[in-house]
Amino acid sequence: MATLWLAQQPAADKLLSEQPLALLIGMLLDQQIPLEKAFMGPYVLTERLGVTELEAAAIADYDPVEFGKIFATVPAIHRFPGSMAERTQKLCRAIADEYAGEAARVWEGAKDGKDLLKRVGSLPGFGKQKAQIFVALLGKQFKVQPKGWREAAGIYGEVGSLRSVADIVSKESLTKVREYKKQMKAAAKAGE
């Protein structure tokens, strides 16, 4: 089991380490909010649902209006609670239907790195970059390393890189990943 530093809160990071669905939901939420808040989301969700384990089918089948309210309750789980609640339910529906509710089957059944990237990238809410980062996270911190995983993860799979959540193993590495992201945003803005 990996020791994660993503939520920067021990109980939330433990949940991410132990529950594959929580890890996928945290990754899904990691956009347009601080990454700690995103990865704290699954823990907050367990508290608000009154459960210790997140279940894909239960979340997918939850009344969408009520589930949206759970996301929107102050403090909101995400900056965009309505759309992210909907995306979370779509992700959970895919896990329930395609992987019998077992999120780990997404990576456990992968033949190689390309297949792993394809499986992750086909999940609702996971574009190419997010899928590559997740493959790198699995490889670097969970030792899910099918042949070719680094290549499939692209720059995020590189040894010694500090570019994404895959590389956060301490407060110091969190700071360096933040600096990298800030540089990339500035470069993208300058190029516009």
96-151 pLDDT, tens digit each: 999 999 999 999 999 999 999 999 999 999 999 999 999 999 999 999 999 999 99
pLDDT digits (tens, 9 = 90+) for 34-86: 999 999 999 999 999 999 999 999 999 999 999 999 999 999 999 999 999 99
Q: Are 24 and 123 in contact (CB under 8 A)?
A: yes
Peptide bond into 75 cis (omega under 30): yes
Helix (H, G, I), strand (E, B) or coil at 25: helix
Better pLDDT: 158 or 2 = 158
**Alpha helices (runs of H) in 109-170, residue ranges in sequence order:** 113-121, 128-141, 149-153
- pLDDT confidence of residue 192: 63
Architecture of domain 10-158: Orthogonal Bundle (1.10)
pLDDT band of 185, cuts 50, 70, 90: confident
What lies within 8 Å, CB to CB, of 53 at 6+ separation is 19, 46
Q: At which residue do the structure tokens 């997010």 appear?
A: 130
- pLDDT confidence of residue 191: 80
Count Cβ neighbours within 10 Å for each residue of 99-131 and write b for 16 or more, e otherwise: bebebbebbeebeebbbbbebbbebebbeeebb
